[in-house]
Amino acid sequence: MITVITEECNEISQEFYDDAMDSIQICQLECSCGHCGCLAGHGAYTRSIKTALGKIPLVIRRVQCSLCNATHALLPSGIVPYSQVLLTDHAAIASSFEDGRDGREVMDTNPELSPSQVFYILSLYIRFWRQRLLSESLPLSPAHALTKSCIRLFGRQFMQIKNTRNLLFVPPT
């Protein structure tokens, strides 16, 4: 997958996603095989994201390399791969734990989150991510700053659990 650094967004939407992906040129993206300019559109899939406004369906674009045939999903930096929960909510739950709370207060800002989901996110943070962040002295806030550091250091977005290679694309300014 390819994580595209995007502006921090209060509410994710299909329009935000489409604008962010339309603003990049696919020929600038690098494949996991190391080549640039070899990716082309290869369909899409729908996934739901849990937000304060409810579950938002997003059509996620995919690209395929013409050299190695690898496929990649294009994700904005505010989305955690393989999760329906936004990066900001993951970071808020982890911050809550670090402040001595249990993370359930995050459900007040995002009623789509269930207590079991918050507990699951906390357990993943404690088991897989807490020590990594501490070892590199990475702060949990601001949440959007975690993306570049975690992909550069660990090859994954913050709170990405599956060991799928995640490439970072920083659009030119």
* Interval 96-118: pLDDT, tens: 999 999 888 999 999 999 999 99
Of 167, 171, 132, the C-alpha closest to 3 is 167
- Which residues have a Cβ under 8 Å from the Cβ of 56 and sit 6 or more positions away? 12, 13, 14, 48, 49, 50
Percent of the chain with pLDDT over 70: 98
Look at residue 9 in the predicted model and tell me its pLDDT.
Answer: 67
End-to-end CA separation in angstroms for the chain: 22
**Rounded distance between C-alpha atoms, residue 152 and residue 163, angstroms:** 14
The answer on pLDDT for 76 being more than 90 is: yes
- What are the backbone dihedrals phi and psi of residue 108, each rounded to the nearest 5 degrees, phi first? -70, -30
Query: pLDDT (tens digit, 9 = 90+) per residue, 8-22?
Result: 766 789 999 999 999
Closest CA to 12 of 71, 53, 68: 53
